[in-house]
Amino acid sequence: MHADTEKFSTKEDIFAKYSVPKAIATLAIPTIISQLINLIYNMVDTIYIGMTGDAYKTAAVTLVFTIFIMTISFANLFGIGGGSLIARLIGANKQADAKRVCAFSFYAALGSALLYSLLIAVFMNPILTVLGASDYTMTFAKQYVWVVVVLGNVPVIVSMTCAHLMRNAGYAKQASIGLSGGGILNIILDPLFMFVLLPKGMEVLGAAIATLLSNIISFIYMIYIIHTLTNFAPLSLNWQDAKSINKQEIKGVFNVGVPSGVLTGLFDVANIFLNALMSGHGDLQLAAIGIVMKAERLPNAINVGICQGMLPLVAYNYTAHNWDRMNKIISTVRRYGLIIAGLSLIMFQFFSHSIVHVFLSTEGATREEAIATIAYAAVFLQIRSMASIPQFLNYHTSFCLQAVGDGRDTFIHAVARELVFFIPFMFILNNFFGAKGLAAALPISECWGAVFVLFLLHGWKKRNIIGKDTGE
């Protein structure tokens, strides 16, 4: 066996030969670590800005978060779409085809990042107005958008896309180092730019600059690693590989990538409605829901990391027709995720006030507003945390559908989850119960979404797996 081929064959052992718990741990633990570190650095921005005691700066960052989330939809479009196909091609022993898919996904992500930056730059003012920016928050929001989104889209989208592609080829550790390294660097640079290098009052701009520099370093690392792996892994940044991709492979990328991107995009759209409706109750309530959305991401980051680690394992074994192993992976990850979701529910119910207090100081100039914001946030967190278990079931089942290339059901679920359940419930419950009702829309809609997607997965299994030597 050629040495380069032998190097990659050891990666295939993860998919096909490792015990199920060991295989999940090998791909999921590095992914979870990178998810948590990047979550921490996103939280650090909010925490450091909250140290100013200015609730309006916190509200501004909340507004920008919805714009930033849209960048993830582009990364998912080409990262998860391309990555899922790469894992299935590896399972079918088509490494050369996987290289073409990798290169195409890279350049497509780069192009979409440039286009998104241009659109945000041109339409920034109306977008922020629609999102609910007030006279008190507009200046801070624009500072953050210009630096993190307009200037920072390319490194963010491309880095995340590369991480998905590497993870699905079995290189989760390298992907984790790239994303985690950027997160750690951001944590270090934040206080330097916010409180040392820039004058007082420019904390939001300082946090944005620190984030941009960190993402650029991560971007450079990702490109370097894929370049070094390309000789012996089904990964490539070669422009000729990208140009040689065929229509069927492009269709395979978009078949999973579009629903995954739409899911994230619709999540962002739903948050736009959430922020707009919550801003109608006041800037303090808007700041509060922004804090809650940061706090509740801890268990979500862990569970998304587990599911992202699961995806290539399911995709590979599906293509390799190893139904029994595929189902064991699915059921094991489901059990792990439900335990994490249950523990997070308990934590948020009993320690909500202490958790949200971390994100906003009560010692600043707007002390009374900060105290009120914390009170709102504690209540919102207790309500929204009741979505923990059904929310994981939505994540888990959707990733299973993406892994097997079922773009149709993934798309149906994405649309139903956000447009049929979440957004309508927001309007209905806000109308009858105000801000608390708006918070309650999440757990109610996630329950409906979980039931619906489990029905979709059962239908897919009946059409494709049951009766074909399945062991579940």
The closest alpha carbon to 399, from 173, 180, 168, belongs to 168
Is residue 471 included in any domain, yes or no?
no
Measure the N-to-C terminal CA separation of the chain; round to a whole number of Å.
Answer: 36
pLDDT of residue 202: 81
**How many domains are contained in the chain?**
1
Q: DSSP letter at 244?
A: T
> What value, to the nearest 5°, has the Cα angle with vertex 407 and ends 442 and 310?
70
- Rounded CA separation 170/26 (Å): 9
Mean predicted confidence (pLDDT) in 453-468: 76
The HSE-up count of residue 80 (CA atoms within 13 Å, CB side) is 34
Residue 266 maps to a domain: yes
Return left, alpha or beta for 170; rule: phi > 0 is left, psi -120 to 50 is alpha, else beta: left
Could you tell me if residue 300 is inside a domain? Answer: yes
Query: If you write DSSP's letter for every residue of 429-444 in order, what string do you get?
Result: HHHHHHHHHHHHHHHH
How far is residue 192's CA from residue 214's CA, in Å, rounded to a whole number? 13
Task: Tell me the per-residue pLDDT of 403-451, one tens digit each, with 9 for 90 and over.
Answer: 888 888 988 998 999 999 999 999 999 999 999 999 999 999 999 999 9
In sequence order, the 6+-apart residues with CB closer than 8 A to the CB of 85 are 98, 101, 249, 252, 253, 256, 405
Flag whether 348 is in a domain.
yes
Is 72 a member of any domain?
yes
Phi, psi of 360 (to 5 degrees): -150, 125
Residue 311 in domain = yes
The answer to whether position 432 is within a domain reads yes
The pLDDT score that the predictor gives to residue 158 is 92
Put residue 133 in one of left, alpha, beta given phi > 0 → left and psi -120 to 50 → alpha.
beta
Closest by CA to 145, choosing from 161, 133, 162, 163, is 133
Pick left, alpha or beta for residue 2 (phi over 0 → left; psi -120 to 50 → alpha; otherwise beta).
beta
Q: What is the CA 178 to chain-centroid distance, rounded?
A: 16
Q: Using one digit for the tens of pLDDT, what is the confidence trace for 332-386? A: 999 999 999 999 999 999 988 888 887 776 665 566 777 888 888 899 999 999 9
Residue 301's domain spans which residues?
3-459
Instruction: Locate 440 and state its tokens.
Output: 């309650």
Res. 135: pLDDT tops 80 = no
